[in-house]
């Protein structure tokens, strides 16, 4: 179980025993958590935190890595495709978050502040 709170200091808590005990991860300002079978994605005000070992090691992606903005509001993923809703457009990765492209109003979105995203296999 993953619980994120919007506060300074560690704000991602994790329980592997149905909420009986909790541990925290040093990720702050959590906006959204998305979990697949083998990966965890955390949207924050400082980018997108990703873990592919359930929660032990984290990598943070930011605007410097190609995201549209450091403010990631939500995240969704299907396979190696990762979609990050930011306040400056929709950032899309087809290689598990290594590289990013951005879609915004110049690509047909009605606005750049993307507040929600959900992706699924078709």
Sequence-separated (6 or more) residues with CB below 8 Å from residue 17: none
**62-88 average pLDDT score:** 96
Q: CB atoms < 10 A from the CB of 22, how many? A: 12
The predicted structure's pLDDT at residue 61? 97
pLDDT digits (tens, 9 = 90+) for 39-51: 999 999 999 999 9
What is d(CA 56, CA 25) in angstroms, rounded to the nearest whole number?
A: 9
When comparing pLDDT for 10 and 82, which is higher?
A: 82
Domain boundaries, the chain: 2-107
Could you tell me the end-to-end alpha-carbon distance of the chain, in angstroms, rounded to an integer? 27
User: Which residues does residue 30 pair with via DSSP β-bridges, in sequence order?
Assistant: 44
Q: Worst-scoring range by mean pLDDT, 39-53, 61-75, 81-95, 107-121? A: 107-121
Beta-strand runs (E) in the chain: 2-4, 12-14, 23-25, 30-35, 40-44, 47-51, 59-61, 72-78, 81-86, 89-93, 101-103
User: How is residue 111 annotated by DSSP?
Assistant: -
């Amino acid at each position: 179980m993953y619980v994120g709170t919007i506060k300074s200091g560690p704000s991602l808590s994790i329980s592997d025993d149905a909420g009986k005990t909790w541990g925290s991860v040093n990720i702050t300002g959590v906006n959204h958590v998305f979990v697949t079978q083998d990966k965890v994605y955390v949207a924050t005000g400082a980018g997108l935190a990703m873990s592919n070992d359930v929660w032990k090691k984290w990598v943070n992606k930011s605007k410097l890595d190609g995201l549209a903005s450091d403010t990631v509001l939500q995240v969704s993923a299907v396979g190696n495709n990762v979609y990050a809703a930011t306040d400056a457009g929709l950032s899309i990765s087809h290689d598990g978050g290594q590289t990013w492209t951005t879609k915004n109003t110049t690509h047909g979105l009605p606005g750049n502040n993307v507040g929600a995203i959900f992706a699924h296999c078709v």
